[in-house]
Each structure stands twice: as C-alpha cells, then as structure tokens.
C-alpha cells in the first residue's frame, strides 16, 4: 500500500539535522530526521520503507494512505457531530432580555436592542420546553444566561431556576448555569443567590480598559466602573470569573493596567482568569482600528505570559487540537432561546427576526437560516488552510454575518509560537 505526506503537517522549525512537525488533525508533534522528512514530503512511499517508526508516523497522521481524502474525512465527522443526538447533555443559551444598562460602541446587537424582558409566564414556558426535551439518556442540563444584560432580568432567572431545578432533581438530571454579563449589576447579594439557587458556576465579564477608556467605549459612568471592580472582587469569592478583555488597536496599550488592577484587588485569584479577545467589525465600518488575526496573535502570547505572571501561575497554553464541531450551539439539538420563546442557532442573532429558526411552542421551522448552519460550507480559503482541523472554518455566524466574511480564530503563526517551548535541538 502507498502513502504520502499529510496536507495538515506544519513545519515548526528546521535545524541542521532535524525537522519539527506538528499535525493539526492528530495534534501530534515529532522531531524527524531531515532525510526521512524529505523522502515523505517529496514522494509516495510504501510500507516497505526503511524507517523504524513508520507505524508511528502513520498512526500520528504525519503520513496517510494516498487515496485518503483528509478534507472530506473532517467534513464527514463534522456532519456526524452536528446531527448526532447528545449522549447525556443538553445545552441552551437563554436571553431573558434584550435590554442593557450600558451601550458599548461595538455591540453586535446595535439596532436590535430593546427593553423587552421575558415575563413570568414565558420563563416558565421556556423551562417546560427544556423539560420536554429530556429523554432517558440525558443526565445534565447546561444553561448559559445571555442578553442584552441578563441581570436586568435577575428575578426571572431566579424564578426559572427555582422552578426547573426541583423537577430535574426528580428526573435525576443535574443542572448548572453560566452567564455572560457586563458585571455592573452583579452585586454580592445577587451573585450569592445565583450561586446558591441557580447553581451558577461561572460568569464572563467584559472589561475594555481602565476607567476613562472603559467609560468612553461602554458609555458608562465612573461610578459604574468602580462598582464593576468591586463586584468582580466579591464575586470571585463565590464562583469562577472569566475576564474578557475586548481589544483593538485603540485600547490594547491600556489593557495590562486594568488587568493588573483587577488581579491586585482579588483575594481569591484561583477563581480568576483573564484573556484577550479580538474585537470583530460587526458594524462593517472597515476602520483600521481592528487587528488582523496575525497581528492579534502576535500580541496575545506575550500578553498571556504577562497575565500568568500576575496570577502567579506557570504559562501553560492550550495546544489546540482537532475538534469535530466549532461550538456546542452548532449541534442540531442545542439552541438559543429569546425573551419571547423564539429559537436561534447563535446568541449573536438574538433580536433579529430574520434569524429566528423556530419557537418553543411549535419547534423548528427548518428555514434557510437553520439549514445554513447545518451545512456550514467552508470558504475556499479555509479548504486550503493547514489549520482547518482546529478552526473548521471559524464561527459560522461570523462567516454569514460579517461584511468582510472573516471567520478566522487562529493563525498558523500562533500555532508555531505556541510550540516554541517544546522545541530543543
């Protein structure tokens, strides 16, 4: 049988005698003699090749059967992952309101926000809808609270949780929740109640910089910024806090200062994580303040190291590996639920009538928006990309929604930089 070089091999480094390879499908890393690398790179080989680790090269994906179509294998596995019923977990994002107490310049809901809040009857209907979808295999329900600002609907979140959790307990199904919030309304009393009554395990809070930068970009008051910092400190004593630092070229230089301030004030640093997030041009303004993926990746490794130093922990970045679907919401049976019981495939679509894919009363409507997510046709540039197994063409919603069509989440440069610490001659 004949074999050839995997398209998804990435040369990390070359020395006088060796080539360091990473395969983005298998996640394997190897140090290979240059002569062997040259042979498998430039010609087809058979299993009689004089190489004592031929089987390892094959099993780890650095070589593959000549007739094996690597791209089609990924696409098929993705389709199976999307359409398969979950074995034991159902996940939902619930947006109980489109109202927000801030007004971020870059908000992707700009033009769609309103003051609607789910009423008491509808929040129970949403709970009943989720309960109706539980079968004998389901053992866990995960809910992510979203908005608008979900804490504007704090009372409805408590009502939902106090209704559904006892019923799930009767079915021997566990329940946990998370939340994406701006944090200004996340007082000590609220976070304590959410942790105890709603099994809230983690919140993500977006911070855009120190006081002046934060207030300008979010149209917040100085008092709201001070309240936010106090809330982060107190909440970290109860739950995991993930601080998302949204950045572009205009605020990047300010982010180390605010990260330092947040870390310095928190007593329970074990519950705290901080990461950079590249701002996306959802409004299509085409300004030069937005980072390209390569430029962003060039900055975030050093930034991540800096954060680890502040937190007093070693820098141990995740080595990205092949995944069968881009995110949990991409799967057939996971949905986003809006304040009126409408269904979406992505939280970024809440409030957009043209992106509704059904409702909790009548189910899915199988429209073109829904089918586009299931089909998720990769862009031509993605098909030719060596890190496609890691990225899978990026976020489907971004690919559909952004005027420029950008959907990249990683760069080959970033992958190579992550492996620097493993490579020694």
pLDDT digits (tens, 9 = 90+) for 358-408: 999 999 999 998 888 888 788 888 889 999 998 888 787 777 777 555 567
Residue with tokens 């310049």: 105
Distances (CA, A) of 175 to 157, 227, 371: 14, 30, 29
H or E, element range at 271: none
Report the C-alpha gap between 298 and 3 in whole angstroms. Answer: 36
H or E, element range at 175: strand 174-181
Per-residue b or e along 232-246, where b marks 16 or more CB atoms closer than 10 Å to that residue's CB? bbbbbebbbbbbbbb
| pLDDT on residue 321 | 76
Report the C-alpha gap between 20 and 422 in whole angstroms. Answer: 10
Helix-then-strand count for the chain, H and E: 15, 16
Distances (CA, A) of 229 to 43, 186, 234, 273: 60, 10, 9, 15
| pLDDT on residue 317 | 73
Report the C-alpha gap between 168 and 261 in whole angstroms. Answer: 41
Could you write out the DSSP letters of every residue in 323-383? -SSS-GGGSTT-EEE-TTSEEES-GGGTT-GGG--EETTTEE---HHHHHHHH-PPPHHHH
pLDDT tens digit string along 269-299? 999 999 999 887 765 555 688 888 888 888 8
Q: Are 137 and 87 in contact (CB under 8 A)?
A: yes
- Which range, 92-101, 104-113, 329-338, has the best average confidence (pLDDT)? 92-101
Residue with tokens 């492996």: 419
Please give the average per-residue pLDDT across 295-320, as a whole number: 86
Report the C-alpha gap between 384 and 95 in whole angstroms. Answer: 37
Please give the average per-residue pLDDT across 206-218, as a whole number: 95
| pLDDT on residue 403 | 58
Angle at 273 between CA 268 and CA 279, to 5 degrees: 145
């Amino acid at each position: 049988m004949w074999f050839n070089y995997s398209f998804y091999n990435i040369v990390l480094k070359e020395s006088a005698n060796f080539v360091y390879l990473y395969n983005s499908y298998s996640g394997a890393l190897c140090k290979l003699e240059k002569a062997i690398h040259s042979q498998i790179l430039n010609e087809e080989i058979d299993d009689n090749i004089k190489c004592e680790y031929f089987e390892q090269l094959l099993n780890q994906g650095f070589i593959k059967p000549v007739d094996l179509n690597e791209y089609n294998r990924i696409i098929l596995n993705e389709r199976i992952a999307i359409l398969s019923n979950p074995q034991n977990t159902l996940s939902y994002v619930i947006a109980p309101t489109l109202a927000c107490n801030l007004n971020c310049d870059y908000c992707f809901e700009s033009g769609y926000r309103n003051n609607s809040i789910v009423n008491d009857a509808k929040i129970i209907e949403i709970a009943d809808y989720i309960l109706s979808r539980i079968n004998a295999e389901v053992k866990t329900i995960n809910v992510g609270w979203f908005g608008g600002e979900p804490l504007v609907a704090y009372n409805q979140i408590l009502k939902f949780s106090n209704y559904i959790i006892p019923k799930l307990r009767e079915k021997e199904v566990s329940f946990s929740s998370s939340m994406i919030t701006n944090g200004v309304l996340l007082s000590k009393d609220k976070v304590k109640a959410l942790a105890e009554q709603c099994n809230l395990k983690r919140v993500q809070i977006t911070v855009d910089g120190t006081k002046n930068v934060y207030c300008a970009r979010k149209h917040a008051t100085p008092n709201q910024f001070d309240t936010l910092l106090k809330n982060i400190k107190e909440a970290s004593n109860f739950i995991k806090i993930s601080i998302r630092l949204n950045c572009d070229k205009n605020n990047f230089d300010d982010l180390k200062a605010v990260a330092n301030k947040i870390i310095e004030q928190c007593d329970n640093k074990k519950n705290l994580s901080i990461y950079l997030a590249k701002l996306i041009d959802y409004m299509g303004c085409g300004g030069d303040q937005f980072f390209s993926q390569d430029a962003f990746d060039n900055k975030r490794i050093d930034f991540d190291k800096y954060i680890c130093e502040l937190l007093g922990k070693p820098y141990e970045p995740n080595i990205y590996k092949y995944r069968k679907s881009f995110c949990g919401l991409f799967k057939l049976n996971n949905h986003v639920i809006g304040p009126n019981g409408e269904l979406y495939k992505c939280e970024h679509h809440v409030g957009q009538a043209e992106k509704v894919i059904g409702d909790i009363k009548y189910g899915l409507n199988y429209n073109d928006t829904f089918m586009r997510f299931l089909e998720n046709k990769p862009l031509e540039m993605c098909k030719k990309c060596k890190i496609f197994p890691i990225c899978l063409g990026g976020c489907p919603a971004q690919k559909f929604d952004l005027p420029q069509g950008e959907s990249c989440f990683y760069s080959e440069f970033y992958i190579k930089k992550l492996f620097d610490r493993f490579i020694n001659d």
